[in-house]
Chain A
Amino acid sequence: MPLSPDQVVFWHHGFLKINATIAFTWVLILVLGIGSKILTRKLSTGIDRSRWQNLLEIIVTSINQQVGEVGIPHPEKYLGFLGTLFLFVAMANLGTIIPGYTPPTASLSTTAALALCVFVAVPLFGIEEQGMRGYLASYLEPTVIMLPFNLISELSRTLALAVRLFGNMMSGTMIIGILLTITPFVFPIIMTSLGLLTGMVQAYIFSILAAVYIAAATRARKPTPEAAPAS
């Protein structure tokens, strides 16, 4: 039994290869992209609208609201990045109910890639919001001595993001696989449903943590009106 879907290689040509992680990710991209394109083809701006439109509106507005509750002033601006993080992880984890499917998030490469994206996106959003000088100055807060600790914090939280998601999803898949060999009937179903819950929670945690990092980079280190005269 492979520990990671990266090890299931369908095609390779030198450095290039197509493994299960990439293949299932493409499937998810197709499903999400084509599904969105089809469902948003005839959107109604009136009071009467379709059930699918209602569902999509609920999902989008819920994500937007959650992002806003984290403390980001204009959540629509970061909805593309954070919402896609949530939807990708959630859909990848929900797919485990399909037999033969292996979630891409069970691969450390995928979770590391997502964490890497967050690692890059957070300073980009911070620089965009505060400027290069302001963002870099945030690493010296509250004192210069804190610089190495802030840098370690940046790296460690990225690593934690990647490993947390990978560990949860990989373990869930592994447990189901092991249980299938031991008790092939009822118990794996329970564990699968538990895995679905775990997957949704991990999607929520991953995207919310990313939102918190972005909020911290874009807003938290700005001087408040009350604190400004004292500083």
Chain B
Amino acid sequence: MLIDWFTIGAQALNFLILVWLLKHFLYKPILAAIDAREKAVAKELADAAATMDEANRKQAEFQARNETFDKERSDLLSKATQEAADKRKDLLEEARSAAEALSAKRKESLRNEAANLDQAIHDRCRQEVFATTRKVLSDLADTTLEERMGAVLTRRLAEMDAAARKTLGEALVSGPEPVHVRSAFELPGPQRTAIRKALHETFSVDLQVRFDTSPELVSGIELAANGQKLAWSVSDYLASMVKHIGGLLEQPAKARSHPKAKAATMPAQKAP
């Protein structure tokens, strides 16, 4: 007999006992452990997600802050650069103005110096011309400069044409003041007398004549009355001399500034 009913009942009971045992000692603890682990993992994942969200939020916040900082820094930098450029421009302008002012001042100073030097040369030349003339006249013609100046004035009075004589005569007669004769040197008595005589002979009236000496104003001798003037001056001679001397001084300067041209021209001069 393959089927034993007692064994069937016992095995069914045994199986039910085994079901109860495994349910309590195997399935429940294992499933509880798995559930607990799944909950822990889910909690950790949720925490990680929350941490990630927080990190993302902070990252976005820091990024926005960094962008703000960068923008502010860029603005400040551009502002500082602009201010520096403006300051540089102002300083350059100021320096240029100062340099120009200094240059103008220096040019003015040089111009003044040159003018003073010209004047000094002019005065010295006049003195030298007078001294030389006086000495030459004394040595060669046995006369004085003052005599010759007086003679020249009287001769010019005598040689005046009719129109000029008339104009000057009217000026001399109509003026309230005496005739004013100024000279660079003190005129001796005979010359003064000769001038008075020449005036009388020329204009046929007795004129009051006043003689003055002003070497700084007059470069010779002049007769002035009521806006009319008759004079002899050394200024023309001096101007001519300055022109000649200037020409002499310019030649070496040109030669220095064009050495090749000079070198090229030298053999041509020597050839004949």
Dominant secondary structure of chain A at its interface with chain B: helix
Cβ contact within 8 Å between B27 and A33: no
- B69 CB–A CB distance under 8 Å: no
Q: Give how many A residues have a beta carbon under 8 Å from the other chain's beta carbons.
A: 49
Chain A residues near B40 (CB-CB < 8 A): 45-46
User: Which residues of B (1-29) have their CB < 8 Å from a CB of A?
Assistant: 2-12, 14-23, 25-27, 29
Interface string of A17-36 (1 = CB under 8 A from B): 10101100110110011001
Cβ contact within 8 Å between B30 and A40: yes
- A57–B31 Cα distance when bound, in Å, is 8
Q: Which bucket holds chain B's interface residue count?
A: 20 to 34
Cβ contact within 8 Å between B27 and A79: yes
- B36 CB–A CB distance under 8 Å: yes
Given contacts A40-B30, A83-B22, A87-B22, contact A46 B37 (CB under 8 A): yes
Closest B residue to A107 by beta carbon equals B7
* Number of A-B pairs, beta carbon distance below 8 Å: 123
- A38–B36 Cα distance when bound, in Å, is 20
**In the complex, which of the residues B3, B18, B33 contacts A45, with contact meaning CB atoms closer than 8 Å?**
B33
Cβ contact within 8 Å between A109 and B18: no
Cβ contact within 8 Å between A84 and B18: yes
User: Which residues of A (36-71) have their CB < 8 Å from a CB of B?
Assistant: 36-37, 40, 43-47, 53, 56-57, 60-61, 64
- A76–B37 Cα distance when bound, in Å, is 17
Of the listed stretches A110-118, A126-134, A188-196, name the one at the interface; the rest are far from the partner chain: A110-118
Instruction: Write 15 A-B pairs (CB below 8 A) sorted by A numbering.
Output: A17-B6, A28-B18, A29-B21, A56-B30, A60-B26, A60-B30, A76-B27, A84-B19, A85-B15, A88-B18, A107-B11, A108-B2, A109-B5, A113-B10, A114-B15
A residues bordering B, Cβ < 8 Å? 3-4, 6, 15-17, 19, 21-22, 25-26, 28-29, 32-33, 36-37, 40, 43-47, 53, 56-57, 60-61, 64, 76, 79-81, 83-85, 87-88, 104, 107-110, 112-114, 116-117, 166
Which 9 residue pairs spanning A and B have beta carbons closest together? Answer: A113-B11, A109-B7, A45-B36, A80-B23, A36-B25, A36-B26, A40-B29, A33-B21, A113-B12
